């Protein structure tokens, strides 16, 4: 079975909506890294002149390859990801090997057949 890794970077207040949409799009689970920080094109300065970096979530979704397109579309809509600055991003990576997924693949095949 082939897999893709979806990485979604969103403001923390959108995390639950993205997770719900991912499940509805065909994902069977996710790993969430909270309180991630990063920098964009322009620094956001506070009134003290210090850079403000809002907390973001990094959501990692290992999706069966045939489902990845529908999951990506769902999380893009739920996370309100568009091409403007500061909305967050999502990306998809090819997964060449996996370990520890034998039971997951069996359950995925039985309970969630591809339609």
pLDDT, tens only, 28-82? 889 999 988 776 667 666 777 666 667 889 999 999 898 999 999 999 999 999 8
Rg (CA), the chain: 16
pTM of the model: 0.82
Residue 28 has what pLDDT? 86
User: What residue ranges define each of the domains in the chain, with the CATH number in brackets?
Assistant: 3-111 (3.30.70.120)
Q: Which residues, at least 6 apart from 16, have a Cβ–Cβ distance to it below 8 Å?
A: none
How far apart are alpha carbons 88 and 56 in whole angstroms? 9
Helical ranges in the chain per DSSP H: 15-25, 68-78, 102-111
**Which residue, 24, 4, 3, 36, is CA-closest to 75?**
24
Q: How far is CA 73 from the centre of its chain?
A: 11
Rounded to the nearest 10 degrees, how much is the dihedral formed by the CA atoms of 66, 71, 74, 76?
A: -110
**Which residue, 74, 105, 101, 106, is CA-closest to 90?**
74
Is the pLDDT at 90 greater than 90? The verdict is yes
How far apart are alpha carbons 23 and 15 in whole angstroms? 13
């Amino acid at each position: 079975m082939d897999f893709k890794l979806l990485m979604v970077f969103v403001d923390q207040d959108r995390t639950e909506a993205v997770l719900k949409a991912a499940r509805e799009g065909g994902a069977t689970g996710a790993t969430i890294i909270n309180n991630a920080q990063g920098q964009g094109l322009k620094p956001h300065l506070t009134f003290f002149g210090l850079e403000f970096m809002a907390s973001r979530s990094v959501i990692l979704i290992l999706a069966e390859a045939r489902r990845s397109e529908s999951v990506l579309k769902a999380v893009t809509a739920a996370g309100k990801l568009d091409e403007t600055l500061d909305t967050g991003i999502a990306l998809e990576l090819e997964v060449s090997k996996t370990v520890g997924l034998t039971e997951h693949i069996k359950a995925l095949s039985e309970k969630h057949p591809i339609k």
